[in-house]
């Protein structure tokens, strides 16, 4: 495998893993909410799975 091919393969792999992480694990809803002005922000309400 040439250096160029190796670099391209690794770049694609890193991009794919990063994309999957951002898609599956990153809390976009909270991130976008925290970016809004305070008056427009949704309230974060904490709960535990107990009555």
Partner 1 sequence: MFLPKLFQGFPEIKEALIANRMQAGFLGAPMAIALRSQGVPIKIVYLGHRYGSAFVVSKDGPIHTVRDLAGKTIAVASRFSDERLIVGRALRANSMSESEVKMVEMAPPDMASALSSHAVDAFVTGEPFPSQAELGGYGRVLFFAREYWPDYISCVLVVRDDVIERRPEAVQMLVDGIARSGLWLDEGKAHREYAAEFVGRYYYQQPPRILRWALTHPMDRVTYTPLSPTRPDFDLIVDLMVQAKLLDQRLEFEDYVDPRFAEHTTTLRSWQFEPGND
CB of 36 to partner 1, least distance (A): 12
Q: How far apart (Å, rounded) are the C-alpha atoms in residues 8 and 36?
A: 38
What six digits make up the tokens of 36? Answer: 């809004």
The answer to the question of residue 51 lying near partner 1 (CB under 8 A) is yes
Q: How far apart (Å, rounded) are the C-alpha atoms in residues 19 and 15?
A: 6
Q: How far apart (Å, rounded) are the C-alpha atoms in residues 47 and 15?
A: 35
Residue of 9, 26, 29, 35 interacting with partner 1 (CB under 8 A): 29
Residue number with CB closer to partner 1 (2 or 25): 25
- Which residues here bind partner 1, judged by CB under 8 A? 29-30, 33, 38-39, 42-51
């Amino acid at each position: 495998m040439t250096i160029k091919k190796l670099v391209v393969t690794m770049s694609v792999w890193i991009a794919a893993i990063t994309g999957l992480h951002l898609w599956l694990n990153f809390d976009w809803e909270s991130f976008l909410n925290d970016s809004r002005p305070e008056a427009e922000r949704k309230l974060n309400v904490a709960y535990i799975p107990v009555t």
